[in-house]
Structure 1
C-alpha cells in the first residue's frame, strides 16, 4: 500500500538515509520522483531467501525479522540507527525478510543505488572527501570504510556452512549418536561421503581392509576426526565465485589455504597435545575472512579496476571478518584466534612462556604459512621465519627450525596425498 507523502516531506525524510544524505538537492529531487513510501501489515514478505530481485528496501517504521535458511533470525527495528542503510543487500538473498509488525518502508532500484554510490564515491565534493578521510584514514580509501559500515550495521550477511555440515556436527556432538544414523546423514551429501571414504582408504588412515561405504569409513576415522573432516570439506565449498573478475583470486586463495592446511597437518603430528585434523581445519580457515572480502567486492562494489584497494581491504579486514564468521559458526576459541590473528606475525612478542606451553594452533598455522611461501616471491612485509614469536615458542618446545624443515621434507608424500584429497 502506498503512503501519501508530500514532496517536501519526502525530501526531508530521504536526507536521513544513506547515501541520500550525501547528494545535492537537485539530484535528490529527481530521485524522489521515483520513490514511494509504502505500508505493509504484519507478516508481509519483502523478499525471500535465494531471490535475485532488483530492489533495495529501507525501513521507516516498525520491525522486520530476517530469517536465514538454517533458521537463525535477526531483528531490525526502525529505531535502530543502522536502518539508515538498505536491508541485507547481498545477492542471492541470504534471508527472508518479513514484517514482524505493521511497517512503513520505501524501495529504491538496486542499479540506481549502486550508480548513486559510485558517483558519490568519485565526487570531488570537499565535504565528501573530508568525511571519508576522517573515517577511513588519510589515504582516503572510502571503500574500506564503507565495508566496515556494512559490517557494523549488519547489512552484510556472513556466509553459512552448508546445512548438512551443521547437522552432521550437531549429530556427532549428541551422546546418543550412532554410526548408522551418522552414515545415513553423511550420505545425503554424496560429495562429502565420497571424500570421507577416500580419506579412510588413504595411506594416513588405511587399515587391513578396504572401506567400501560411509559407515566403514566413519568407523575407521572415528567421530571426532569425521566431524573435523566434514567441516573442512564444507569450508572448502565456500571458496567459490561466480564472478569472472574474482574467480582467479578466489582460486588462488583456495590453493593457498589447502597448502597451509597440509603443512599444518604434518607439523601437528609431531607435536604432543595437538590434533592433526584440527590443525588441518585451522589451516583451511585461517583466511576465511578474505572469502567474505571477495564476496563483498563481487556483489556490491566495483573493485575490479583497483587490485591495490582490493588487497588492502583483504589485509585490513580479514582478521575481523574471520572472527565474526567463526563466532557465528560456533567454532572453538582456538580456531577463532587462528582466523583473527594468523597474519599478526608479532603476536605475543615479548610475552612467551619459558616452556613454550603457549604455542597454539595460530602459531602452528603461522609457521605453516611461511613454509608454503618458501621458494616463492615473498611480500616485503613478511618477516624472517626465525624472528617471529611462533618459532621462538616452538624452539622452547625443543623443536628447532632445522628440525621443523626436516619434518616437512620427510612428510612430502603425506602432503601430496592431502593435496589430492582436497583437489
Structure 2
C-alpha cells in the first residue's frame, strides 16, 4: 500500500463503525490489514449460509441482499446503515451481490478483534468519550434496527398465535363466550392461568370458577383479552445469550413485580382497568428485552457492558414503541413502553386537576414502590416525591401516604398475582 493509498484509507475509515473516533496511530496499524477493492455488477461478496471471516463495508455503488425466498433489499452509500458491515450475522442470512460497479472495504474479523482488545486496554480513558457518543450510537442502532427489521435481517419475537386469535375473536362483535372458551382451551397454560386469576383475591366471586367459560364470564371480555396478552408477553422474556441471561431474568422478575403493583393501584383510580394496568406493567420493559436479543448480534455490545448500558438507554423507549406498534397495541400501552423510563415526562405541563395522569404515570409510580431498595437493570430510581407522575396523582386527591397504605393493604393480592405469573 503506497503512502497516498494509506492516507486515503485513513481519511475513509472514520466514516465507518467501529473506526470512528480512533486515534491516527491505531487507525494506521489497523489499515495495514484492510483492503480497498472494486467489482463489476454481479460479483458475489458472500452467499446465504456462509461462515466467512470477512466483513464488507460499501464505499460506492449498490449491493443487493437476496433472501432465500427471493426477496431483495438494496444497500447504497446514501443509506445510514452503510456505515456498518454489510449483513454481519453468521451464518449469512443473505446472498450479497453487486448491483452495478462497486467499491468496498474488506476487513478480516481478526482486525476487529484486535481493535476490541486495544479499546479495552484503554477503556477507562474512553468511558467519557463513549458517554458523549452514546446518543449518536443509540440513534444509529435504532436506524439499523429498523433497517434490519424491514429487510428481515432481524425478526421480532411474535406473540403466540393463539393469543392473536383470542384477541381477534374478542374484538369481533359477533363473538360469544362459549366460542372464546373453546379457543382459550387450545392453550392449556393460558386456560389454567385465566381460571387461577378469576379465583384470585382480586376477582373472586361467591362461587368458585371450575372451567374456562365461567372464568371468562367473571372476568369479562376486555379483562380476558388483556390477561391473555399478558401471559403471552411473559413467554418472550428469553435469551440464548449467556452474557445476557441474568439480565433478562431480572427484567422478567421486575416486570411481574411492577405489573402486580400497577394492577392494585389501578383498582383505586377511576377510569383505569386493572387488567390493562397489569399488562402495562408487564410491557414497560419490552424495549429493553428486544434490545437484549438484538445486542446478541453485536460483539462490541455483547462484551462491553459500559457501552451496552449507555446505548440501551437510548434504544429502550424507541424499540418498545416499534415493537408494540407492530403488534397493534393501544396508544396508551405504546406510550408506556416508549416513556416509562423518562421520569421527568410531562414536567412543567401538568393539568391542574391531574386529568392527564395516564397508564405510563401509573407504571412509573408502581415501579418506584415495587423496586425500592432492590437491584434494577438500569440506573438508580429517583426519590418518589420528585417525579411529575406523583404530583399528578396528588392532584387526583391521592397522596403518597394514601398510596403507600393502598399497597400495604393489597400485599396479599400482590403476592398472589406474582405467584400466578411466575408459574
- Tell whether the structures are fold-level matches, with TM greater than 0.5: yes
**RMSD of aligned alpha carbons:** 4.5
Cα distance in 2, alignment partners of residues 171 and 52 from structure 1 = 44
Q: Corresponding residue for 2:348?
A: 350
Residue 160 in structure 1 maps to residue 151 in structure 2:
no
Query: CA shift at 1:339, angstroms?
Result: 1.6
Query: CA shift at 1:185, angstroms?
Result: 4.1
Query: CA shift at 1:303, angstroms?
Result: 4.6
1:251 to 229, 249, 260: 249
Q: Corresponding residue for 1:291?
A: 289
Number of equivalent positions: 393
Cα distance in 1, alignment partners of residues 51 and 185 from structure 2 = 30
| Change beyond 3 A, Cα 1:272–1:143 | closer
Query: CA shift at 1:216, angstroms?
Result: 4.1
1:223 to 215, 221, 224: 221
Residue 403 in structure 1 maps to residue 394 in structure 2:
no
Query: CA shift at 1:234, angstroms?
Result: 2.0
Query: CA shift at 1:414, angstroms?
Result: 0.7
| Change beyond 3 A, Cα 1:84–1:238 | same
Residue 211 in structure 1 maps to residue 210 in structure 2:
yes
Pairwise mapping of residues 5-24 of structure 1 onto structure 2 (< 5 A)?
A: 18-19=16-17
For residues 160-219 of structure 1, the C-alpha deviation after alignment (integer angstroms, 9 at most, x for no partner) is 332413343333323333445544544444433332233233333344243334x44334
SS in 1 for 2:343: coil
Mapped contact 1:62–1:104 kept (Cα < 8 A) = no
> Which ranges of structure 1 fall in alignment gaps of 5 or more residues?
1-7
Mapped contact 2:166–2:225 kept (Cα < 8 A) = yes
Pairwise mapping of residues 112-151 of structure 1 onto structure 2 (< 5 A)?
A: 115=113, 118=116, 138-139=129-130, 145-151=136-142
For residues 193-250 of structure 1, the C-alpha deviation after alignment (integer angstroms, 9 at most, x for no partner) is 332233233333344243334x443343332222211221222122212222221111
| Change beyond 3 A, Cα 1:220–1:47 | farther
Cα distance in 1, alignment partners of residues 247 and 314 from structure 2 = 17
Cα distance in 1, alignment partners of residues 101 and 217 from structure 2 = 56
Cα distance in 2, alignment partners of residues 414 and 317 from structure 1 = 34
Q: Corresponding residue for 1:5?
A: none
Pairwise mapping of residues 352-391 of structure 1 onto structure 2 (< 5 A)?
A: 352-376=350-374, 382-391=381-390
Higher mean displacement: 54-63 or 253-262: 54-63
SS in 2 for 1:299: coil
Mapped contact 2:48–2:67 kept (Cα < 8 A) = no
Cα distance in 2, alignment partners of residues 162 and 53 from structure 1 = 34
| Change beyond 3 A, Cα 1:39–1:21 | farther
Q: TM-score, normalised by structure 1?
A: 0.74
Mapped contact 1:90–1:299 kept (Cα < 8 A) = yes
Query: CA shift at 1:420, angstroms?
Result: 0.7
For residues 88-112 of structure 1, the C-alpha deviation after alignment (integer angstroms, 9 at most, x for no partner) is 656799xx75899978999989955
Mapped contact 2:340–2:360 kept (Cα < 8 A) = yes
Cα distance in 1, alignment partners of residues 68 and 340 from structure 2 = 32
Residue 393 in structure 1 maps to residue 384 in structure 2:
no
Higher mean displacement: 22-31 or 170-179: 22-31
SS in 1 for 2:299: coil
For residues 308-362 of structure 1, the C-alpha deviation after alignment (integer angstroms, 9 at most, x for no partner) is 4433333343223222222232222221221222122222222221211111111
Cα distance in 1, alignment partners of residues 95 and 384 from structure 2 = 52
Higher mean displacement: 377-386 or 244-253: 377-386
1:169 to 164, 167, 177: 167
Q: Corresponding residue for 2:263?
A: 265
Higher mean displacement: 239-248 or 357-366: 239-248
For residues 238-294 of structure 1, the C-alpha deviation after alignment (integer angstroms, 9 at most, x for no partner) is 221222222111111111111111110000001010011111111111122221332
Cα distance in 2, alignment partners of residues 305 and 143 from structure 1 = 16
Cα distance in 1, alignment partners of residues 294 and 165 from structure 2 = 27
Mapped contact 1:19–1:116 kept (Cα < 8 A) = no
Cα distance in 1, alignment partners of residues 191 and 132 from structure 2 = 45
> Which ranges of structure 2 fall in alignment gaps of 5 or more residues?
21-25, 149-153
| Change beyond 3 A, Cα 1:294–1:407 | same
